[in-house]
């Protein structure tokens, strides 16, 4: 190979040089598009410090599973090792496409991204459930409860499971169980000839193309035991949001979605110029999914370590238990992000509120600050903040 220095030929290629002169030009082989997407990793803020593990992984960097009837991809602890509490699956079904009848050892929480689908389930007491879901709707199936999903039109959704090591290909599927059970056993169990099972699948079907189902009334099956006592569906967009300057928050946990015993979440809207305030969560790690827009998050951990990451739609973020962080809007469109927790309750501690409810003299002596900051502190929590004249404006 010819020995020569490769130099940039345009002036808009980012370089790892901070405004104070630290760093230098990168003339070697590089993935320039990655550097453009991650400006705060290429040139970390001067306040970043120490060693913080990777807290970002994009669904775009995962392997797609393509089936007739839809596709899926997942981000688990295999892709993002720090993410031990939760795993995520991004799935799409065609109109009529079916995620076959199955169940998991983990609970399933889902957010409908686009399109409509039909979900069904039966609980341990023989009580059944059927519902149609659309954009912004949630569903939750407890661990061990069988269920199915079918597209009423082309649709896409996010599935979250309360175990970071979960894989959607490791589920227990009705087709796989039939395939690995002797036909004479199936015959004895159902009271029909073995010939009734001559055309069953040879293995797990996972996703397949079916016919678009009729109206929900035409598919309802009446159980002698009735319907499930707690609905598996929740319409998040029907909640009245917490509105603050800069955006809004909708919180969903077992207090308003009682069946959701192991997953809690907040849907956060951050307008241009706004930010998710400095805060932390005292109950568990946070698993994030970025829906629209662009943002950056700095996570502050023990011993003064801090690291900044850039996120955009389709990315997964992660925040370890009780570590301080914020999300700052860095794009032009509204930033929407899901904050998800392995917990029955959503809990967060606001840095601003904590300071406001602490004796002023203690704050002043601890931080060596004056009345200008003390008088601006708020006793009410604002999850998203925006102050005229103090907002970040993308360059």
| Catalytic residue annotation | 339
Residues in CB range of 153: below 8 A, 6 or more apart: 95, 115, 116, 212
Give the span between the Cα atoms of 303 and 322, in whole angstroms. 14
List the one residue out of 337, 281, 334, 333 whose CA is nearest residue 309. 337
H or E element: which one contains 53? none
CB 287 within 8 A of CB 341: yes
289 - beta bridge partners? 316, 338
Contact 197, 188 (CB under 8 A): no
Nearest 5°: the CA angle 370, 376, 381 is 135
* 334 Cβ contact partners less than 8 Å away, ≥ 6 residues apart: 247, 269, 270, 271, 272, 292, 293
- Coil, helix or strand at residue 345: coil
What 3-state class would DSSP assign to 351?
helix
Do 244 and 382 form a contact (C-beta atoms < 8 A)? yes
């Amino acid at each position: 190979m010819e020995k020569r220095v490769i130099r940039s030929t345009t002036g808009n290629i980012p370089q790892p040089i901070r405004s104070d002169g630290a760093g230098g030009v990168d003339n070697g082989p590089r993935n320039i598009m990655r550097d453009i997407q991650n400006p705060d990793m290429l040139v970390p803020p001067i306040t970043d410090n120490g060693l913080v593990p990777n807290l970002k992984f994009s669904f775009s960097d995962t392997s797609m599973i393509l089936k007739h009837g839809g596709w899926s991809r997942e981000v688990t602890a295999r892709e993002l090792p720090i993410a031990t509490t939760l795993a995520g699956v991004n799935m799409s079904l065609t109109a009529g496409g079916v995620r076959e009848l199955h169940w998991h050892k983990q609970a399933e929480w889902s957010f409908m991204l686009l399109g409509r689908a039909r979900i069904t389930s039966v609980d341990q007491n023989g009580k059944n459930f059927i519902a149609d879901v659309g954009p912004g709707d949630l569903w939750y199936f407890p661990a061990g409860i069988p269920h199915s999903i079918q597209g009423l039109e082309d649709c896409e959704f996010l599935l979250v499971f309360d175990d970071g090591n979960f894989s959607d290909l490791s589920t227990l599927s009705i087709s796989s169980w039939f395939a690995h059970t002797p036909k004479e056993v199936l015959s004895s169990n159902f009271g029909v000839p073995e010939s009734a099972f001559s055309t069953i699948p040879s293995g797990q079907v996972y996703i397949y193309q079916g016919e678009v189902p009729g109206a929900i009334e035409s598919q309802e099956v009446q159980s002698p035991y009735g319907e499930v006592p707690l609905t598996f569906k929740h319409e998040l967009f029907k909640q009245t949001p917490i509105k603050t300057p800069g955006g809004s928050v909708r919180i969903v946990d077992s207090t308003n979605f009682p069946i959701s015993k192991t997953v809690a979440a907040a849907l956060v809207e951050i307008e241009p110029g706004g930010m998710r305030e400095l805060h932390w969560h005292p109950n568990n790690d946070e698993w994030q999914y970025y829906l629209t827009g662009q943002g950056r998050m700095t996570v502050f951990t023990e011993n003064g370590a801090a690291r900044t990451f850039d996120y955009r739609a389709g990315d997964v973020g992660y925040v370890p238990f009780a570590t301080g962080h914020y999300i700052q809007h860095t794009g032009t469109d509204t930033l929407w992000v899901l904050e998800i927790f392995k917990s029955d309750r959503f809990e967060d501690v606001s840095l601003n509120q904590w300071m406001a409810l602490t004796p002023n003299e203690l704050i002043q002596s601890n931080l060596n600050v004056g009345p200008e900051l003390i008088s601006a502190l708020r006793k009410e929590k604002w999850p998203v903040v925006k102050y005229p004249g103090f907002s970040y404006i993308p360059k």
